[in-house]
Amino acid sequence: MSRTEGKNLRVVLYEGPGSTPLADDARFDTLSALLDSGFEVTRPVSGQQVAPADDAPVLVLGLLDRLETPPIVPPDQEVHFRNLAEGDPVEAAREVREATGARALEAWKPWFPVIDFDRCTNCMQCLTFCLFDVYGVDKKQQITVQNQDNCKTDCPACSRVCPEVAILFPKYGKGPINGDVVREQDIQREAMKVDISTLLGGDLYGSLRTRQREARKRFSTERDESKALLERKRCLGKLKKDLDIPDEVLMTLPSAEDIEERAARARAKLAKRQAMSQTVKDTRPAPSETEWGI
């Protein structure tokens, strides 16, 4: 089962009719333990609003005197009951999750790019930059995050080269990449980063190819392996520093052949998009008087 499938178990921490209210400490400890273990918890209170029910399985947890289905759960919903007086809430939730086939939890850091479409200009710089095929274009030729599982944890490099600061990584430490407000100085700083990224010649793939050719040439003429390795180390160090690319990602960069192939695919996607935009532009009728605002 991939990360995009499966319903989560909804745990309802129930203190209504047919139950004994929890002590404040017990309620907080139960909530914390369930959330820290990745569960979704609803605390309903009579007459107050919570998220509406869906078809996810429900576990009602509480100091239950009798089995009373809370009003927020529709009559035909799959409901399980566990008494907090009789066991650990996390164990109970795990057991019900398994019994209902609800989504199993993963220990992972949710790391993937999130596009701010209020800022994105669809320039495709991220698509041509990312070496791991994370980006693609949708049917409307709009940039999209197509393969988020390919994204390398803790690598924010694509957001560093985005000229509009339109790519977020909410788990990143610093703003504006973490979603903080974008300020004028951020745009200027990010523009500088783009300039720095072009230190390799403006086209990362081209630059890597050139560097590889040069390294091969040097290697063949000088037969000095240590020099070649030093040069590679220097280049990777610069990438790491300027674009904040983690060591693990640098270690897993695709081979030169893969990069070539990837670059060709990205160029084809981009050309297709440009051709499409041109066609739309060419076939668009002349604006009416209303459209001109006359």
Partner 1 sequence: MSILYCNCTYAKVVPPEVKKDVLRRLSDSGQAFDAVADLCDMSARKDPALKKIADGGCTKIAACYPRAVKWLFHAAGTPLPPDGVEVLNMREDSADDVIKELLA
Residues engaged in binding partner 1 (CB under 8 A): 3-8, 10, 24, 27-28, 31-32, 35-45, 48-54, 56, 103, 108-110, 112, 114-117, 145, 148, 168, 170-173, 175, 178-181
The nearer residue to partner 1, 172 or 219, going by C-beta atoms, is: 172
Shortest approach of partner 1 to residue 157 CB, angstroms? 19
Half-sphere exposure of 291 (CA within 13 A, CB side): 5
134: its two tokens: 């994370």
Strands 143-145 and 19-20: unpaired
| Residue closer to partner 1 (CB basis): 32 or 278 | 32
Minimum Å gap between C-beta 110 and partner 1 is: 4
Q: Shortest gap between Cβ of 251 and partner 1 (angstroms)?
A: 22
Whether residue 81 contacts residue 64, with contact meaning beta carbons closer than 8 Å, is answered with yes
CA 14, 15, 18 angle in degrees (round to 5)? 100
Closer Cβ to partner 1, 70 or 259, answer by number = 70
Closest CB to partner 1 among 180 and 261? 180
* CA atoms 6, 83, 90, 25: torsion sign: positive
Q: Based on CB atoms, which residue is closest to partner 1, 41 or 266?
A: 41
Taking the complex as a whole, the smallest distance from the CB of residue 243 to partner 1 amounts, in Å, to 20
Of 37 and 212, CB closest to partner 1: 37
Q: Measured from the CB of residue 176, what is the shortest distance to partner 1 in angstroms?
A: 8
Query: Do residues 103 and 6 make contact, with C-beta atoms less than 8 angstroms apart?
Result: yes
The span from the CA of 245 to the CA of 200, in Å, is 15
Distance from C-alpha of 82 to C-alpha of 93, rounded to nearest angstrom: 9
For 154, list phi and psi in degrees, rounded to 5.
75, 5
Minimum distance from residue 244 beta carbon to partner 1 (Å): 15
**Residue 293 to residue 272: CA distance in whole angstroms:** 33
